[in-house]
Chain A
Amino acid sequence: GAVVSQHPSRVICKSGTSVKIECRSLDFQATTMFWYRQFPKQSLMLMATSNEGSKATYEQGVEKDKFLINHASLTLSTLTVTSAHPEDSSFYICSARDQELAYNEQFFGPGTRLTVL
């Protein structure tokens, strides 16, 4: 089956620093990737839709200048949390849509747990 990886799996950083999270589709091409955020014991909230070669589409309430998304290739999207603060601590999950599948299945990465001190 299709595999999506995320790196790093865990990161702890100081307030004010920037953190980059990578999302890779390992065995398929993904023109579209999605970034979600999950708070403890809550559902996944869509942050943005990332399309290869174009600007990401952000959901209402998500600061595009704080959460920079780059989708430079068909297998890689990155999320950079700029000037991170403790309230940015969360579980970030990406998913990638396999464009070859007609039923829109998305494959999820294992998630990245960000802790901002």
Chain B
Amino acid sequence: EAGVAQSPRYKIIEKRQSVAFWCNPISGHATLYWYQQILGQGPKLLIQFQNNGVVDDSQLPKDRFSAERLKGVDSTLKIQPAKLEDSAVYLCASSLGLASSTDTQYFGPGTRLTVL
């Protein structure tokens, strides 16, 4: 079974530029998550989709971050414009069930973003 795929693996941009990350979850997984992991910290949930609807985006900085999950499969996360403090690893995860608290989340390798 293929795991969660993410691209690109690394991205370097200057502040005020825009950037987009792509995620393809495990086939058949209903729920998709985007996390931000700043160096030295644990992952923080940015947004959660159930199929193609948003379940939780309470910690997403909506003035600059946006995400979509078209057709309930793959997803993109965009930052526009980027700030220095957005430098982090962006992790995508998916789970089989419909956002149950007992679900196991499967993580992709992440995209490491550096904002100069």
Q: A and B, one complex?
A: no
